[in-house]
A and B are shown apart, each in its own frame.
Chain A
Amino acid sequence: DMQMTQSPSTLSASVGDRVTVTCRASQSINTYLNWYQKKPGKAPKLLIYLASNLQSGVPSRFSGSGYGTDFTLTISSLQLEDFATYYCQQSQRIPYTFGQGTKLEI
């Protein structure tokens, strides 16, 4: 299976900070990379698809970039509601594996 490795596993930040989460694929996946936000007790929410496309309704402070094996999710100015766990997912080869998650803490 394709391995997806996120870093860091945990990230401490404050409201207003700019934060970046990194995701690395074990093989090239072109731009088949998605980002999700997960809050406890809630379903995951799609933020970014195909590496850099903002899903409808998602605030513009979220952005994604990357190609091949290295990708980033950036939140330009953290809001209180952004504290959650973030997952990357490759969607090029079945099984469409997820990264292990990055927990964004206050």
Chain B
Amino acid sequence: DVQLVQSGTEVKKAGESLKISCKASGYSFSLYWIAWVREMAGEGLELMGIIYPGDSETRYSPSFQGQVTISADTSITTAYLQWSSLRASDTATYYCARMTGDNSLDFWGQGVLVTVSS
């Protein structure tokens, strides 16, 4: 079965760095794009960016370009989302999801709640 298992809840301070993970199993990790999606409390869903693990091609949504870094390690079938300097406004739940050939998101991780205090 396809599974995406994300790392645990994070509580950080503004200015700190953070890297969260998304461990994939049950399919060929290198052959599917992985997307990262943000959900801020009381807000909707925003696609932050996508990565193709096979060659690490990455595309960012304009709002997130330069704000985060998406990466992947095919040897351990894991994708990452990282920040070099967190802001309070980064407080949100972050999901990873597998992207199909038609660009829909068919399998999702359980989400990671990131809380950043100022």
Q: Does B53 contact A (CB under 8 A)?
A: no
Give chain B residues whose Cβ lies under 8 Å from the Cβ of A91. Answer: 102-104
Give chain B residues whose Cβ lies under 8 Å from the Cβ of A44. Answer: 37, 45, 95, 97, 105, 108
Asked if A43 and B95 sit within 8 Å, CB to CB, the answer is: yes
State A43–B95 Cα separation when bound (angstroms).
Answer: 7
Asked if A98 and B44 sit within 8 Å, CB to CB, the answer is: yes
With contacts A87-B44, A99-B44 known, is A34 near B95, CB below 8 A?
no
With contacts A43-B95, A95-B62 known, is A50 near B104, CB below 8 A?
yes
Query: How many inter-chain contacts with C-beta < 8 Å in the A-B complex?
Result: 63
Q: Does A3 contact B (CB under 8 A)?
A: no
State A80–B59 Cα separation when bound (angstroms).
Answer: 39
State A63–B73 Cα separation when bound (angstroms).
Answer: 37
Q: Which chain A residue lies CB-closest to B111? A: A43
Asked if B105 and A46 sit within 8 Å, CB to CB, the answer is: yes
Give the shortest distance, in Å, between A11 (CB) and chain B (any CB). Answer: 16
Chain A 90-106 interface 0/1 with B at a Cβ cutoff of 8 Å (1 = within): 01101111111100000
With contacts A1-B62, A43-B109 known, is A101 near B44, CB below 8 A?
yes
Q: Does B67 contact A (CB under 8 A)?
A: no
With contacts A43-B95, A98-B46 known, is A55 near B62, CB below 8 A?
no
The A-contacting residues of B in range 88-114, CB under 8 angstroms, are 95, 97, 100, 102-106, 108-111
Q: Does A62 contact B (CB under 8 A)?
A: no
Give the A-binding residues of B (Cβ under 8 A).
Answer: 35, 37, 44-47, 50, 59, 61-63, 95, 97, 100, 102-106, 108-111
4 tightest CB-CB pairs across the interface, nearest first? A91-B103, A95-B61, A43-B108, A49-B104
